[in-house]
């Protein structure tokens, strides 16, 4: 059960979550069982019980998670994102603590407080830029550009790398540092993003990395397979228009033979459930 504070802003976030979850029914999305107000006016959201978060799993695997488990989790997350994006819903806060893992091996995205339906267009200049937890925030959000479903794909790419390596890919200390780490790894942005960067006073002292400072993904994650790197590159394209969709990612060679992967609870060696 989730008790929602009674401030106007937090109440609106909770109602947004309720509205989205009433539209989104999928095995890889947490199920909202009930929403009700108490006599005092407090809003309560009742969700299905799920045992663990991906964040807990990452903390237990500092050297990286089992490759087959990473594949299973990523595939299930993409199923959820594909479903949401087809319904024109952007989650806008995909991160390890918002990804649940059941003992039965099912992955579920939760916390839809920042989610938004983009019925009229995939991007909208009125969207707030204060979305996506910093470490999983894409370049278009960092420079204040319009955005759409590709923000969720970028976040998934960061999580994918984190599961493989056992450490965050872009652990920025602040807004500037976040963009610096991205550029130091990927080395480029779109012309539109560079224009927004140049015109934004908050980036007046920002310096682009030199070529000698760039540390490519292949260098940072040199031990991952070529098919996995293809997925990661497709998720982390700085240009959201060129970034792969969830459906395109699901069709990549990395996921061929996914049906042969063991159930997730066996891959992660969950302890038996209590009697």
Distance, in Å, from the CA atom of 268 to the CA atom of 252, rounded to the nearest integer, reads: 24
Bridge partners for 74 per DSSP: none
Residue closest to 30 by CA, chosen among 92, 84, 68, 74: 84
Integer angstrom CA distances of residue 55 from 61, 66, 97, 117, 163: 10, 15, 5, 26, 10
Q: One of 93, 111, 145, 152 is an active-site residue; which one?
A: 93
What are the residue ranges of helices labelled H in the chain? 8-23, 54-59, 67-86, 139-142, 150-165, 175-186, 191-199, 217-220, 226-235, 246-250, 264-267
Lateral strand order in the sheet of 99-101: 52-53, 99-101, 107-109
In whole angstroms, what separates CA 41 from the centre of its chain? Answer: 32
* Contact residues for 89 (Cβ-Cβ < 8 A; gap 6+): 20, 23, 24, 115, 116, 117, 118
Distance, in Å, from the CA atom of 80 to the CA atom of 90, rounded to the nearest integer, reads: 11
Q: Is 93 marked active-site?
A: yes
Residues involved in catalysis: 93
């Amino acid at each position: 059960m989730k008790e929602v504070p009674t401030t106007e802003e937090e109440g609106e976030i909770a109602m947004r979550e309720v509205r989205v979850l009433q539209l989104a029914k999928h095995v890889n999305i947490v199920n909202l069982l009930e929403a009700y107000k108490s006599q005092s006016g407090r809003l309560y959201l009742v969700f299905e019980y799920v045992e663990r978060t991906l964040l807990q799993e990452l903390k237990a695997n500092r050297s990286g998670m089992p490759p087959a488990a990473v594949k299973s989790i990523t595939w299930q997350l993409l199923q959820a994102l594909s479903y949401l994006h087809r319904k024109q819903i952007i989650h806008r806060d995909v991160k390890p603590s918002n990804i649940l893992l059941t003992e039965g091996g099912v992955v579920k995205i939760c916390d839809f407080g920042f989610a938004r339906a983009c019925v009229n267009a995939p991007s909208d200049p009125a969207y707030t830029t204060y979305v996506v937890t910093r470490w999983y925030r894409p370049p278009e959000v960092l420079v204040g550009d319009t955005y759409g479903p590709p923000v969720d794909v970028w976040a998934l790419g960061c999580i994918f790398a984190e599961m493989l390596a056992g450490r965050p890919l872009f652990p920025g200390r602040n807004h500037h540092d976040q963009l610096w780490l991205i550029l130091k790894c990927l080395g480029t942005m779109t012309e539109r993003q560079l224009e927004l960067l140049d015109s934004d006073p908050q980036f007046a002292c920002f310096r682009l990395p030199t070529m000698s400072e760039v540390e490519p993904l292949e260098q940072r994650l040199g031990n991952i397979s070529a098919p996995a790197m293809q997925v990661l590159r497709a998720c982390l394209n700085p240009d959201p228009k060129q970034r792969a969709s969830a459906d395109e990612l699901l069709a990549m060679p990395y996921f061929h033979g996914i049906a042969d992967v063991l159930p997730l609870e066996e891959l992660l060696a969950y302890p038996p459930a209590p009697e």
